[in-house]
Chains A and B, each alone.
Chain A
Amino acid sequence: MAIRPILQYPHQGLKSNSAAVLPADPAVDDVVQDLLDTLAASPGVALAAPQIGHAVQIIVVDVSRKKGETGHGLVVLLNPVILALEGRKIVREGCLSAPDYTGNVLRHEEAIVEGLAQDGRIITINARGFEALAFQHEVDHLNGMLFLDRIQSLSTDLFRRKTRG
């Protein structure tokens, strides 16, 4: 297939809910291949279908593209959902679809993600650390959420509007 341009906000495709897919649908394979080709040509470690213009629930994550990370290697997930999150943490996050800006967002250290493989098998992944962040970020894309919707504090975290008890 092909390397697709990664859409940038304000493209409204990034703010829409994506539709669930059927693994048997041949169009799914085309989108997956486009995602893989585009990911391979990008500086990132993960992509969601809406970022290349498809409003369907497909993500690809491969944190091993980042030096020092292994995770589960390349994961292609259809209709992924996050079943559980553990360990709140603030992370400075950015996105290829909203470049040149980063913000402090609340994420979780561990995530259990479930979805379908391309052959229809159910896959459950216990992700930790960087990989857990990647899954949380990509699943957000399927729900029309950007990290900008999750910014937790403007600058450093220590001083945010604490009221004296």
Chain B
Amino acid sequence: MLALQILIDGFAISSLYALGATGFTLIFGVSGVLNLSHGAIMVVAAVIAWWVAGTFGAGAYLGALAGVAAALACAFFTYSVIVRPIQNSGAIPKEEKEIFVLTGTLLWGIMLQEAVAYLFTDNPKTVRPLVDGVVMILGVRTPWNEILTAALSWGAIGLLYLLVNRTRTGKSLLAASMNPRGLTLLGFEMSNIYVLVWAIYGILAGIAGVLLGAFLGVSSANAGTLTASAFSIVVLGGLGSVSGSLIAAYVVGYLETMTAYLVSPSIRTVPVLLLLVLVVYLRPQGLLGRR
């Protein structure tokens, strides 16, 4: 009974982690950027969805759409105002671009977080779920919303998979993550690919944010934790490896859920942190990373 409960609850939260981390790792794979405003963008999506659905009475679907659109806008802004100028800058030495991108996106994340706190207070908000009610799965009472969260997460990841493997644009994206130089030689414009990957990222982060808002509720104060958890999952899975991130998301999700059930909810994140240190020391390329 307990095992089944852990299985079901862990699955939903892990799917959400997976969705959140997929976009994050995709960007790293293609452009080598670690976007530290990730958590803040998810928060923006959730809060905008809450605001549009609640204040304008626009309903859950329109709200969710507005949330995803807001995340997309933020992602584009992150790329065009912060990441691209730094990457193209002649004044920053090459080996220091990484720290500048990190600091820049970090600052941008703080700005987003503070703006949300200022406009909407830092009280947690919950997005109205698309479906209400519960269903019994083998004796475990499960909210429909939890099932929907998992299903939508996997739906989005599935679409991404189709896009990457079945379309020409998608294939160029995959190629870019493996060998950017080769792709340029073949005549592809890298900047187009970057725009595409940031657009995909924005949509994925937006969906993840809205779903998180509906499933658990989100406050502007969570932005840092969300970034840190995406970062950990991605490193655990191997930087740039999407399938590695998916597996890592489940490892993290289940480890947390098991700790909360079997040990104590107050040390939920500790085993994950220890595992992370261990993996980084013993196998720094992560579970499925390439060196």
* A and B part of one assembly: no
Q: Which residues of A contact B (CB under 8 A)?
A: none
